[in-house]
């Protein structure tokens, strides 16, 4: 029996697809029956701002983001869990293409399923918004990756805190498949000003070293090698 809230684990290298369609009338009915506050349980503040116009909410834009979240959730094939709406944020890349950023429970489900990148596409036609989510090739996970001697080793299969930090950066930057330990994360905008607070917060959860957010030295965060030396006290190859 799969644990509650688990995600189906595919074979390594598999690609997943999730599709959803939302009719704007359903969103209009939600607003009529419950008021504008209902959307704050489904859309983040940035998503609501992106869906706002001078004359009110753009129903097609809001519906597109709702459909995209559903598509991402379907892609993960999670069991016995309701969609945690705010753990998926749909934003616009330069040029207008949509991007899904995962956090919290959804990010954990994606990691469990070996899904390390997700591309989304949103389209509108009349009163309908359609979204598709496609994952990159899945990585092997704890459930399907053997140790070199053919037996499963807990030590070999559980990511280290530093590896988890690198995975978080890769999820934010799907154009990368790996990160050179000496790559300047800030100069190359793998960790930009908006993501830096989240980066520091995650680092604090992964290490026992106290982080004084009022007196941070930006140089300590430029590369994975510097982060490792400062906060993990570990060598990086």
Instruction: Give the residue ranges of the annotated binding site for Mg(2+).
Output: 20, 70
DSSP three-state, residue 198: helix
Q: Which of 13, 14, 15, 42 is closest to 27 using CA atoms? A: 42
Strand partners, 128: 23, 125
The answer to whether 28 touches 131, Cβ cutoff 8 Å, is no
Q: How far apart are CA 75 and CA 207, in angstroms?
A: 31
Q: Which residues are annotated as a binding site?
A: 20, 70
Torsion sign over Cα 231, 234, 235, 237:
negative
**Are 190 and 179 contacting, i.e. CB atoms less than 8 angstroms apart?**
yes
> What separation in angstroms does the CA of 87 have from each of 12, 133, 168?
25, 15, 14
CA–CA dist 124, 56 (Å, integer) = 18
**For the chain, first and last CA: distance in Å?**
39
For residue 118 the two structure tokens come to 């997700």
């Amino acid at each position: 029996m799969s644990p509650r809230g688990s995600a189906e684990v595919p074979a390594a290298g598999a690609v997943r697809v999730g599709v959803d369609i939302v009719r704007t009338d359903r969103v209009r009915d939600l607003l009529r029956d419950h008021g504008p506050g209902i959307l704050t349980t489904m859309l983040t503040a940035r998503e609501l701002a992106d869906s706002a116009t001078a004359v009110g909410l753009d129903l097609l834009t809001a519906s597109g983001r709702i459909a995209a979240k559903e598509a991402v959730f379907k892609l993960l094939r999670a069991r016995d869990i309701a969609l945690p709406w705010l753990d998926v944020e749909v934003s616009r890349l330069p040029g207008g293409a949509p991007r899904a950023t995962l956090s919290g429970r959804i990010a954990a489900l994606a990691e469990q399923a070996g899904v390390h990148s997700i591309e989304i596409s949103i389209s509108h036609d009349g009163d309908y918004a359609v979204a598709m989510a496609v994952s990159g090739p899945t990585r092997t996970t704890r459930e399907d990756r053997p140790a070199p001697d053919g037996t499963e080793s807990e030590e070999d299969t559980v990511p280290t805190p530093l590896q988890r930090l690198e995975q978080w950066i890769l999820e934010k930057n799907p154009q990368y498949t790996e990160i050179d330990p000496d790559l300047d994360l800030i100069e190359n905008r793998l960790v930009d000003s908006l993501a830096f607070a989240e980066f520091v917060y995650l680092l604090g959860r992964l290490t026992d070293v106290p982080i004084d957010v009022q007196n941070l030295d930006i140089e300590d965060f430029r590369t994975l090698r510097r982060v490792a030396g400062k906060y993990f006290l570990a060598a990086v190859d």
